[in-house]
């Protein structure tokens, strides 16, 4: 779930991106390009004002201005952007969606869409997906949670992804000067680092707290496993499947080999993994792109040049799939300006706007936009941008938040890391708990 803008430190070229080219949003819709409710792209905005709720810290002001300027140019309508705070936003949006005074577009955390859609509060835009995508391949971690029971309710806005973060000095001291491209190379490098610090039981070649389930799930997905299958009312836990068990075993082996014994039952907050890394107790961690800034703040002796990032190599031969954070644009079902809202969302998702998003150091919404930005990325951006191309998300289930509040996933991975339960028993227990929560 989005809590704040997920941003990579070291934004580049924001000013240069202000020279926005025409977005060619495609204006009015045809008879065969409308939603099930009849809503279609509209450019008839004379005398109208579109109300947009934008979350604090998401899109930069210059990007929102560019979208609004192009929208007004195409439609003649004005835009009123109302900045919202993350604290209490679910209650505020839920209340708004049930009223007759709704905004026309809402900036929604990617994992929040399921709950809003389940109440009938959002416009089904499935029929317009191709036109909204404009030839782009949207990142799975944004479009998947916006798709509920096969229907699309959100247009991707921006993304954030976890990446491997390493201390170049500690890696070089162990004789490693190039980044690994494969899982075998990665573990071989970590073996060298571990050997160089064998006398320090508190040092981790890769600090990986046992409760860090966002990271742990990457092994499950990389092995071809998944959390659940099915749909609303009939979800089935899949963590005890053979593929998921393989991934969980891989996680256990990696965690037990390269992290500290004390970390097996911990999460990333106590101790704070960024501080632990900054203090020199770990050579490598996995974190969000913005955590590099936290690390250099925690230890003023470290600079951006001392750090590197790369996408976590998977045993599968690809990078490990990451659980993507991010936001989507959703249109309330009660909006009186649905056609104009669709046009605004299409402009926001256009390649030209996404080029600006990338220039601001934020991961754009498609693999094509990520590739287009690759030549201008800094060493601290490259890891999370690359990782985002192979992304997924937690299940689009109405009650998934209950699973998280029950800490089912933290219990699963920490019990596996610590050995308090066998991998098979831990997976079966997690499946039973997840099924109970999701099928209530």
Summarised one tens digit per residue, pLDDT across range 313-323 is: 999 999 999 99
What's the pLDDT tens digit per position in 83-96?
999 999 999 999 99
Find the helix or strand (DSSP H, E) in which 381 lies: helix 379-388
Domains of the chain: 49-160+325-392 (3.40.190.10), 162-323+396-439 (3.40.190.10)
Say how far apart CA 200 and CA 205 lie, in whole Å. Answer: 11
Average pLDDT over residues 186-203: 97
Half-sphere exposure of 69 (CA within 13 A, CB side): 13
Q: Residue 34 above 50 pLDDT?
A: yes
Q: What are the backbone dihedrals phi and psi of residue 330, each rounded to the nearest 5 degrees, phi first? A: -120, 145
The pTM of the full predicted model, rounded to 2 decimals, is 0.89
Share of the chain above pLDDT 70, in %: 93
Residues sharing a CB contact under 8 Å with residue 236, sequence separation 6 or more, in sequence order: 228, 229, 230, 431, 435
DSSP result, 62-125: HHHHHHHHHHHHHH--EEEEEEE-STTHHHHHHHHHTSSS--SEEEEETTTHHHHHHTT-B---
Q: What would the pLDDT profile of 245-298 be if each residue is shown by its tens digit?
A: 999 999 999 999 999 999 999 999 999 999 999 999 999 999 998 899 999 999
| pLDDT of 191 over the 60 cut | yes
Taking only the tens place, the pLDDT of each residue in 105-148 is 999 999 899 999 988 999 999 999 999 999 999 999 999 999 99
Q: How far apart are CA 37 and CA 122, in angstroms?
A: 11
Q: What is the pLDDT of residue 33?
A: 72
């Amino acid at each position: 779930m989005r809590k704040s803008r997920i941003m990579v430190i070291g934004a580049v070229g924001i000013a240069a991106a202000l020279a926005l080219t025409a977005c060619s949003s495609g204006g009015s819709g045809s008879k065969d390009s409308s939603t099930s409710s009849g809503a279609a792209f509209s450019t008839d905005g004379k005398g109208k004002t579109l109300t947009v709720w934008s979350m604090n810290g998401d899109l930069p002001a210059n990007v929102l201005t560019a979208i609004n300027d192009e929208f007004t140019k195409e439609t003649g309508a004005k835009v009123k952007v109302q900045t919202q705070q993350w604290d209490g936003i679910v209650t505020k949006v839920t209340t708004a969606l049930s009223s007759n005074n709704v905004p026309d577009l809402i900036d929604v955390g990617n994992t929040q869409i399921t709950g809003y859609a389940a109440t009938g509060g959002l416009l089904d835009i499935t029929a317009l997906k191709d036109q909204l995508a404009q030839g782009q391949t949207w990142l799975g971690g944004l479009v998947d949670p916006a798709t509920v029971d096969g229907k699309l309710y959100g247009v991707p806005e921006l993304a954030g992804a976890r990446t491997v973060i390493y201390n170049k000095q500690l890696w070089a001291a162990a004789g490693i000067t190039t980044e690994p491209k494969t899982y075998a190379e990665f573990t071989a490098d970590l073996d060298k680092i571990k050997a160089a610090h064998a006398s320090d039981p508190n040092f981790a070649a890769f600090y990986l707290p046992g409760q860090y389930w966002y990271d742990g799930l990457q092994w499950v997905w990389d092995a071809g496993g998944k959390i659940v299958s099915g749909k609303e009312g009939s979800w089935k836990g899949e963590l005890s499947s053979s593929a998921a068990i393989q991934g969980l075993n891989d996680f256990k082996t990696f965690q037990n080999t390269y992290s500290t014994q004390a970390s097996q039952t911990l999460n990333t907050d106590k101790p704070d993994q960024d501080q632990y890394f900054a203090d020199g107790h770990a050579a490598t961690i996995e974190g969000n792109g913005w955590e590099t800034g936290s690390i250099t703040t925690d230890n003023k002796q470290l600079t951006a040049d001392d750090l590197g990032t790369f996408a976590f190599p998977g045993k599968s031969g690809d990078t490990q799939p990451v659980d993507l954070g991010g936001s989507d644009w959703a249109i309330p079902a009660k909006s009186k300006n649905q056609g104009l809202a669709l046009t605004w969302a299409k402009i926001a998702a256009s390649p030209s706007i996404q080029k600006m998003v990338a220039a601001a150091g934020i991961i754009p919404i498609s693999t094509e936009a990520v590739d287009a930005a690759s030549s201008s990325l800094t060493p601290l951006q490259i890891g999370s941008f690359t990782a985002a191309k192979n992304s997924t998300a937690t299940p689009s289930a109405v009650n998934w938040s209950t699973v998280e509040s029950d800490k089912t996933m933290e219990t699963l991975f920490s019990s596996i890391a610590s050995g308090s339960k066998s991998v098979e028993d831990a997976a079966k227990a997690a499946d039973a708990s997840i099924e109970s929560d999701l099928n209530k």
